[in-house]
Structure 1
Amino acid sequence: MAQKGSILSCIAVGTSVLFLLLAASCNRPSQKGRNIPTFDSVLGMQYIETDRYFTSGLSFNQQGYELEPSWKMYLLSDDSLMIYHPQAKVFYHYPIYHDHDSVFNIARHWMRVKLISKDSLIFQLLSVEEKVVSKEFSNAFMKFYSYEYLKKKKLNPEEMRKPSREDTVFIKAKSERANRNPANRDSAFAARTPVTLTSTVPEIAVTKVKVKLDPHDLLHVSPADEYLYPEFNITIDKAYKDFSYNFSVLVDDKGNMRLGKFLVSPEFEKSRRRVLEGIIDVYLKRFLRVSPGTTLGIPHTSEITLNIKGRL
């Protein structure tokens, strides 16, 4: 079974990345006598992504972002391919542009081909600033297997996509640290299954902010934003006065809430802290049912953002 890992890019990024890299397969002579990568040998072959991983070999990073292998694709020619969008449930056509060596650009993302064969493909997602590749942020990889290879080897791609034992060990250690320091924002990390808030009284309404995905724009919005940055709108009727505040809270593995981050001028910080902690104690802790966030089934401290409005 392939090693698990991940890629920091959004789903959109993952998509483009995959295919950019594909373009760099076998070699064909250029007009200037240089060899230009080609993927003639794999045209029309269908591939499914089974691994997405960082240079660490893990599919999670320190922030809790998970690189999920979810893409399917096939190459049409040396300059185009079809990429499957899981949310829209359709294939979209993308152009492929060769830059130099094994580096390609597709949908405004840069990729380097690491391996291309009829059995498997491996690509590296590149972070490029002013034509310079950042080694620090070019740290994500995608691995594909052809359906023909999986059938021949009797391998189940859905099983191969599951997090590895190393991922579980990593998340368990991070969770233990976060739960030992429930008031420390630096110890908390995004929960793959985010916190849920449910009102127990009619005077309080809770709505989770949803990420709006455009199937035609795979670049700027990722479904991962929904768990990386959980956000809730909360309205409190019959409050002690009209108010409107935006702040974060840390929710520990038991569902307890602690004030996190808020923005205010330094001279008003102490008074604002008292107000926000009062709202948490008087309204949220008393009238909300809180389920902690979990990753790989392990509950741990994570941070959520609250937009709260009180009405007399």
Structure 2
Amino acid sequence: MRRGRRTRGPTREHERADERHGADVLAAGGPSDLPGRVRAGDRPGHAPVRGRCGQGGGEHGAGGRVGVPRGGDGTEGERRVSTVTGRESGAGAGGPDRAGLLESDPLLNHEYDGIREYDNPTPGWWHALFFGSVVFSVCYVLFWHVSVFGWTSEESIAARRVVEYQRIFGALGELSNDEPTLLKLMADQRMMAIAAGSFRGACAACHAADGGGINGVNLTDDHYKNVRAITDIFGVITGGAANGAMPAWRNSFSNNERVLLAAYVASLRGTEPGSPRAAEGEPIQPWPEPPEGGTRAEVGRVEGGGGGGGGGA
């Protein structure tokens, strides 16, 4: 009697591996009817071996692996089958490996060096801050620039300027461009400090902050081009000089501010600037003496200055 050749079935090692894998999946709460898993042979062309895990004789191995060639070198790659949707991923599935991640995990459709990024929504406080900023910006533009409420920032600036003007000149009234007024202002330390701010803003670019001159003339020496008396300084400030090189300030400063500025320019005569410009024009007589009992205020030097064109006194 001819003895038949026995067909070799799955080894005990395969069965134990399948049982461990099935137990792990069931313990994790996976479905009972899981997609199958087949394991490729150790060499190309070797027939896959069907395991025996699960009911109904179905193929076993939730999240199973299927050997696939990878890289063209005959080495074995693997695909992972999702325990939720049955979809494959990994080297053999044409996509990045999502080991340890469920299909329901929200991921962005890009990766960096194999690293995937979660597609988590921004927090609610961030949205509130963003939309609040948009609303605030619209209200700010309407209130400060478009003036839908009949009010502008220019009006506020003008109102504050009037208040400041009254604070400075309220007790003095309307100033006159005469020697007694100029000499009195030159002896007032507070008035000279106020005038110094106007000088730095309007005159320092050409005459330097200390009056030594940059493009404009030196205001600290005894030589003048357009001034012969102390009262002539007011006219140069008001109407300009040197064919526009010295601009006219009649539209920029009020009468009182120009008188105060003229007194400050006169007070610079005889001071010692840091880098004086060479004298220009003709020497003139000294200013009249201050009123009886008065002394000329000490003019403090302010470092710095700017550039620009300018004529001068």
TM range, smaller chain: under 0.3
State the structure with bigger RCO (CA 8 A, min sep 6), 1 or 2. 1
| TM-score, L = length of structure 1 | 0.19
More helix by share: 2
More strand by share: 1
From the CA coordinates, give the structure whose radius of gyration is larger.
2
| TM-score, L = length of structure 2 | 0.19
